[in-house]
Amino acid sequence: MKVVYASTPEQEQKIKELVDYFYSNVFPIYFSDEDIMEFNRLKVLHTSTRHFEYFGTLKEAYQVIASLQTLISILETSQSKEKYYSLFVKNASILEEFDIYFPFTFSQFSETRNLRGSLFNSYVKEANNFVH
């Protein structure tokens, strides 16, 4: 008999927090508001109850958390990202294995948005309470 431990509500919450972090901190570096709205419409990185049933074990939930954290680290690094190509592909594949839609290629994150567009983005969380 094999004992399998189910994912915890805390893990599910952590996954949701990481997805929110992608939308508010990572995507705005590379994409415009319009692009991010489209990602939201297409349910990029979105999870549902079905997903949590699908990666219902502790191990599977940790794989998703680790993949999201790794992708965030790669995309936020100020170093050359090229050396992280295979790590990016591996972690994007893990998300796809769990049916989490992440339709990006590594090259889509080669140019930061502040070179392409406005400095203001409605998805970025405000730095203080004076901005609304």
Residue 12's pLDDT is what?
87
Tokens of 7: 């994912």
123 in any annotated domain:
no
pLDDT at 59 over 90: no
Residue 34 inside a domain? The answer is yes
Does residue 14 belong to any structural domain of this protein?
A: yes
Question: Is 126 a member of any domain?
Answer: no
Beta pairing partners, 57:
6
CA-based Rg of the chain, rounded to a whole angstrom? 16
Residue 27 resides in a domain: yes
| Residue 55 belongs to some domain of the structure | yes
Query: How large a percentage of the chain has pLDDT more than 90?
Result: 58
Assigned domain for 39 exists: yes
Single-letter amino acid code for the residue at 87:
L
Give per-residue pLDDT as tens, 76-101.
Answer: 998 889 999 999 999 999 999 999 99
**Domain count for the chain:** 1
Q: Angle, to 10 degrees, between the axis of helix 58-76 and the axis of helix 9-21?
A: 20
Question: Would you say residue 45 lies in a domain?
Answer: yes
Q: Kindly report the average pLDDT of the chain as a whole number.
A: 84
Range of the domain at 22: 9-101
